[in-house]
């Protein structure tokens, strides 16, 4: 068994990592940190884990952490992450960082959207942890920048189209909707049940969400040329799930079958991407609790646009599940290990 630690175990990503690790046959959870809940069993913070793990929340220094585990999931906010990760790497540890700190390859872009970067020297070696695009690099990496939830759903949704050059990148518009786990577990009025329940709203309208540069970075790689998009996030009254609806002008007269083939070519061997049957479309409730990204599309002949729908569980494929997937790859074990469960419906 490989020894694994979760740094920042008391958030929704933390508990989901712990849930998956409870049944992972190769990884053993040997440390879980939380300043707020230090001294308490993790199963007291998250009673769903009762009987599944005895691990205690602890307030550990990086030094102590290094003695306790070899593999690390950093599930702390950006800024906090970049203060921890370098030391872990220097001690020879493998790290999947779930924050944004090593996702943007351009330091200036990072500093424009976030803040000063304290360890830019590690950005270069960090691999963007989207296995469908970077599997081989991930296998060799010691630092993974685990993708954001919105970027995961959006990049996977349109990668085959951009790669093949069949859409006009300047026309890409992404209307995305996220469940409330995306807002984290911090106590705030805007995330209260009574504020979110039975309602729906947009936020960060007008191109101001921090996932935007990350999405554009990956789309630009696929497009082999800089891409600028419109991206509007919305808040759904559900716990888990992101559904992204992406619009783009088609540049050639392709049939549904032609496009289907592009998707099949790219994703057929992928364990966690499902192309839904023609004429049907993904729904967040059909990926709930799983590491799947479901993708469907339609061509609108009236406007010569393609509309792509992609759905993930934001705390599995959009966070904890993808992190485990990355760690599996880094450790050379079967990449689906611990992630085989079918989605929960209803």
| Active site (catalytic) residues | 149
Site for a copy of itself in 26-65 (CB under 8 A): 44, 46-52
Distance in angstroms (rounded) separating the CA atoms of residues 133 and 135 = 6
Least Cα distance to 182 among 311, 9, 12, 19 occurs for 12
Site for a copy of itself in 154-173 (CB under 8 A): 173
Question: Do 126 and 143 meet the contact criterion of CB atoms below 8 Å apart?
Answer: yes
Q: Which is nearer to a copy of itself, 49 or 65 (CB)?
A: 49
Binding mask 278-317 toward a copy of itself (x if CB under 8 A, else -) reads --xxxxxxxxxxx-x-x-xxxxxxxx-x-x-x-x------
**Is position 243 an interface residue for a copy of itself (rule: CB under 8 A)?**
yes
Return the structure tokens found at 79.
């800024």
Candidates 104-112, 136-144, 146-154, 241-249; binding stretch for a copy of itself (CB under 8 A)? 241-249
**What are phi and psi for residue 128, nearest 5 degrees?**
-70, 120
Distance in angstroms (rounded) separating the CA atoms of residues 29 and 81 = 20
Q: Of 1, 39, 83, 207, which one interacts with a copy of itself (CB under 8 A)?
A: 207
Q: Which is nearer to a copy of itself, 95 or 196 (CB)?
A: 196
Q: What minimum distance in Å lies between the beta carbon of 92 and a copy of itself?
A: 31
Site for a copy of itself in 78-117 (CB under 8 A): none
Distance in angstroms (rounded) separating the CA atoms of residues 100 and 1 = 29
Candidates 80-88, 91-99, 115-123, 187-195; binding stretch for a copy of itself (CB under 8 A)? 187-195
Per-residue CA distances from 226 to 45, 47, 170, 206, 219 (Å): 44, 46, 10, 19, 8
Q: Which is nearer to a copy of itself, 152 or 180 (CB)?
A: 180
Q: What minimum distance in Å lies between the beta carbon of 97 and a copy of itself?
A: 23
Residue 250 DSSP SS3 = strand
Sequence length of the chain is: 346
């Amino acid at each position: 068994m490989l020894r694994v630690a979760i740094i920042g175990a008391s958030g929704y990503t933390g508990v989901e990592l712990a849930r998956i690790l409870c049944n992972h046959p190769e990884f053993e959870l040997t440390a879980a940190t939380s300043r707020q809940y230090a001294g308490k069993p993790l199963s007291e913070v998250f009673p769903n884990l009762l009987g599944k793990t005895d691990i205690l929340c602890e307030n550990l220094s990086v030094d102590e952490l290094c003695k306790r585990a070899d593999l690390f999931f950093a599930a702390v906010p950006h800024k906090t992450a970049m203060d921890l990760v370098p030391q872990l790497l220097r001690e020879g540890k493998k790290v999947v960082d779930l924050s944004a700190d090593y996702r943007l390859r351009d330091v200036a872009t990072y500093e424009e959207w976030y803040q000063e970067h304290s360890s830019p020297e590690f950005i270069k070696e960090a691999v963007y942890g989207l296995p469908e695009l970077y599997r081989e690099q991930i296998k060799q990496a010691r630092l993974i920048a685990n993708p954001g939830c919105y970027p995961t759903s959006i990049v996977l949704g349109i990668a085959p189209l951009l790669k093949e050059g069949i859409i006009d990148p300047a026309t890409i518009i992404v209307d995305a909707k996220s469940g409330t786990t995306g807002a984290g577990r911090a106590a705030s009025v805007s995330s209260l049940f009574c504020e979110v329940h039975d309602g729906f709203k947009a936020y960060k309208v007008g191109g101001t969400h921090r996932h935007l540069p990350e999405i554009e970075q990956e789309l630009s790689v696929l497009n082999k040329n800089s891409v600028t998009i419109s991206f509007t996030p919305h808040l759904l009254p559900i716990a888990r799930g992101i559904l992204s609806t992406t619009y783009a002008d088609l540049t050639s007269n392709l049939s549904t079958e032609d496009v289907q083939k592009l998707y099949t070519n790219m994703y057929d061997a992928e364990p966690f991407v499902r192309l839904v049957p023609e004429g049907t479309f993904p729904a967040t409730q059909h990926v709930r609790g799983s590491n799947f990204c479901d993708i469907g599309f339609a061509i609108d002949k009236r406007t010569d646009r393609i509309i792509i729908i992609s759905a993930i569980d934001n705390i599995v494929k959009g966070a904890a599940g993808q992190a485990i997937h990355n760690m599996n790859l880094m450790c050379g074990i079967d990449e689906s290990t611990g992630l085989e469960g079918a989605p929960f419906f209803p």
